[in-house]
Amino acid sequence: MSETATPSLSAAGPGSDPFALFGLPRGMDVDPHALDAAYRQLQSQVHPDRFADRPEADRRVAMQWAATANEAYRVLKKPLPRARYLIESAGVELGEQDNTAMPAEFLMQQMEWREQVAEARAHRDDKGMRHIEHQIRGAEGALWPQLEQRIATADWKAAADLWRRLRFLQKLRDDIEDARSALID
């Protein structure tokens, strides 16, 4: 039986910067394969299962590391939380709950889509919902390069504004998906 080395973990715990944790360059451009590989590599060293036969104190430390790795992976895996992390760690509040100051034009479009979704839902119109979903994707596609550019140039106020709009669109798309699932079930 070959004994694989068991890592010893710093009791101080991991830092909170997910880019640093996975050794990835800070920014919106994250290579998904490099992220997956780094995440699995880290988990295979720190996961509590690796310490199952070790004292309680070791397992406790392992659990904190593994939980941090999971959270960091969640933050970096999808662009919206990734952007949110970058903006917030620059000290800008996104005020997700209460900050709804957005261009009137954008809000009008939102209301229009919401009405269309409600109507399509009432008529069990799957095709109609797919059509709205397609339009929303188009709008998101136009906003993403702008957000990436604002983040790259550290224009955080503008980035936060774009982020809130993308978050709105994502929520709307989630609602459409819920409605579409409800049609099938």
Partner 1 sequence: MALLQISEPGQSTAPHQHRRAIGIDLGTTHSLVATVRNSIPTVLPDEHGRLLLPSVVRYSRNGVVAVGVEAAARQAEDPRNTLASFKRFMGRGLADITRTHQGDLSYEFVDAAGMVQIRTAAGVKSPVEASAEVLRVLRQRAEASLGGDLTGAVITVPAYFDDAQRQATKDAAQLAGLKVLRLLNEPTAAAIAYGLDNAAEGVYAVYDLGGGTFDISILRLTKGVFEVLATGGDSALGGDDFDRRIACWAMEAAQLPPLGPGDLRALQVEAREVKEALSSRDRAPFHVRLQNGNTVDLTLDTGTLESLGANLVAKTLKPCRQALRDAGVDITEIQGVVLVGGSTRMPMVRAAVAEFFGQAPLTNLDPDQVVALGAARQAHLLAGNRSADDWLLLDVIPLSLGIETMGGLVEKIIPRNATLPIARAQEFTTFKDGQTAMRIHVLQGERERVDDCRSLAHFELRGIPPLTAGAARIKVTFEVDADGLLAVTAREQSSGVSAQVAVKPSYGLSDDDIARMLRDSFDHARDDLDARALAEAQVDAERLLDAVGAALEADGQALLSAAERATIQAHMAELAAARAGTDRSAIRQATDALSTATDAFAARRMDASIHSALAGRSIESI
> Does residue 48 interact with partner 1 by CB under 8 A?
yes
Based on CB atoms, which residue is closest to partner 1, 60 or 131? 60
Based on CB atoms, which residue is closest to partner 1, 66 or 151? 66
Contact letters for partner 1, residues 165-184 (x by CB under 8 A): ------------x---x--x
CA distance linking residue 155 with residue 147, whole number of Å? 9
User: Are 31 and 76 spatial neighbours (Cβ–Cβ below 8 Å)?
Assistant: no
> Does residue 17 interact with partner 1 by CB under 8 A?
no
Question: Among 70, 116, 146, 170, which residue interacts with partner 1 (rule: CB under 8 A)?
Answer: 70
Residue 52: exposed, middle, or buried by beta-carbon count in 10 A (0-12, 13-18, 19+)?
exposed
Question: Among 44, 89, 100, 135, which residue interacts with partner 1 (rule: CB under 8 A)?
Answer: 44
Contacts for 112 with CB less than 8 Å, ≥ 6 apart: none
Q: Is 49 helix (H, G, I), strand (E, B) or coil?
A: helix
For residue 160, which amino acid is it?
A
Q: How far is the CB of 185 from partner 1 (least distance, A)?
A: 5
CA distance linking residue 94 with residue 88, whole number of Å? 7
User: Are 9 and 61 spatial neighbours (Cβ–Cβ below 8 Å)?
Assistant: yes
- Which one of the spans 1-9, 111-119, 123-131, 134-142 is the region binding partner 1 (CB under 8 A)? 1-9
Based on CB atoms, which residue is closest to partner 1, 71 or 158? 71
